[in-house]
Structure 1
Amino acid sequence: MKFIPTLVIAATVLIAPSRADETEEATEKLRQGATRYIEAFNSKDAKAIASLFLPEGEIHTASGEVVSGREAIEAQYQAIFDEDESSQAALEVGDVRFVAPGIAVEDGVVHITRADGELASYSYTALHVAQEDGSWLTARVRDEARDLAGGHAKLQALDWLIGDWLIENEGAKTYISFDWSEDGPFIDARALSESPDALNSRATMRIGWDAAKETFISWSFDIDGGHNTGTWTSAGDNAWLIRVEGVTADGERLQATRKVEVSPNGQSFTWHSQDMAINGELLPDRDIKVVKRPPSPTTDAGE
């Protein structure tokens, strides 16, 4: 069963937007509705996803397949979840436009990490319709091909990441491997952490170019379901500032500023975590040194 690369977003609002302030409020609530879809996807609740559609709602996939009606949508998602119970989703809402009274069009990208650690990203366009009771339901979601050719050229600025890296900290070791993605202009990373005092853990990251914001974006997922999104900006020669927002595996809100400083020879970089907060509670700043290592099949984070 092939994964349907679509994102469905629906939200409940009090009234259909008719003035600027109402439009702003509706836009925000539609964006919040994206979280509801992610929660339903990550909890494998196909019925909840189908309920976000109109009874006659449709999904048009990039391959030309059309899935029509709530029952068919629920069945399709249930088949997806039965095949891969561990897949996790994150999203980037790009734009919400009110094209007519009670009609909104939304564009964005959904990012899926599967049980085997494979990452995939898809664009979508969703049409939402306001209901008489003030709620919004999705009439149609359409996958569209994306022109990503320029992204690879932009990512050359981060090609120093490509390779295998090691973090050693208080007896624990983390092996990280960065490589060019096989399914688009992205840099993908896999990390394996080993500690004598705790269970091994894994995480994945994808870095891409956001043409609208003209900056790099990263999406990270850990094995327990935590995820975050980072916005990268240049901080001078061989340095990057990353603004991070996300959710831990326990459902706590994470915010942090991370600065990456690369050594002149490119064989190491320092990862400064600053202003990090969990549910608003500040945590101590941390500096971590990451050192390049020769590839080793016995410690490759991708195995």
Structure 2
Amino acid sequence: MPLNPIVHTVGVAAMRPRWCFLASIILAAGGVSHWPAVAADPTAVAAITAAADAFVKDFNAGKAEAVAAHFVPQGELIDEAGRVYQGQQELQDLFRQYFDRFPGATLELSIDSVRPLGDSLAIQEGTRRLTSKEGAQARVRHITVIAKVDGQWRIASTRELKDEPPPAPGDRLAPLAWLVGDWTSEGPDLAVQISYRWDEDGNFLIGQFRSFRNGTPVLKSSQRIGWDPRTGQIRSWLFDADGGFAEGTWTLVGDAWVIKSEAVLPEGLVGSATLTLTPKNKNQFLMRGTERIVGDSREDDFELTITRAPPKVRTVPAGGAAAPAAEKAAPVVPASPDPALPRPAAPRR
């Protein structure tokens, strides 16, 4: 029988949590190769390893009484729904129900951490995987307290947690999904078109920036926004067509995104700035640049309202077929593709 029905089986209440619990018991009993962290002396390590081996052997043999004996007399398990099963007799009944319904299930263990709390107590966290005779598998996380009683390591308490997969990198960027689309802003002489799209795998946001001065192209840039698992932050990398580049870290403060940016301009100058993006509604956001430094010079702060670009329009000549789609002229923007880091006023050649 596949293991998934354990979650929904009627008549054996909380079967999946109970099943998960059995695995965490094993983890608590020994923890396999990670358990030596609980005790430093070889005698304790050997005892813990032996207890783990015995537990696995008893579990795989379907011996409910022997498995329950690996708990302290008032040992407990708390399943994913918060139900508490306490005492060796209640645990023995629990294991027996499981073994009767799912004979031949096997267990694999993985320990993430063991934290000793003195010589006779430890907290263990990890995951376990159970496989049925038919090959179906289930996985659960656990936090288990183990205690040394009368010279034996036994389970005092274990709690099962849902083992949901970690968010994908793209999931971490969901709070920035509002950026997706085409944007423009207005200024006296410089026009900038901004476009954000998801990459084909959905793990990065790709930004494209084009600047025009009086209709003449000035600068083109591309940006990639992604999740940095090492620092636990959203980061961005911007590359200008002329060789300049910038890197930023994104932090959500209230309803605004604060971006700390550092850049290297093509002429070798180093710059830094703070850029704040504050959504006003689904079609506008406020962009504010502060703490702008290029080389040894401090630049003025700025504040812009960025507006979502109108959709492309199609025109139909009188008596003719529809003409190709034409995009409305971009408004003017008083900023470079990376507004946090200013660019020279003259057009680039």
The structure carrying a bigger strand percent of its residues is 1
Range class of TM-score, shorter chain: 0.3 to 0.5
Work out which of the two has the higher radius of gyration on C-alpha atoms and give 1 or 2.
2
| TM-score of the two chains, using structure 2 as the length reference | 0.41
TM-score (norm 1): 0.47
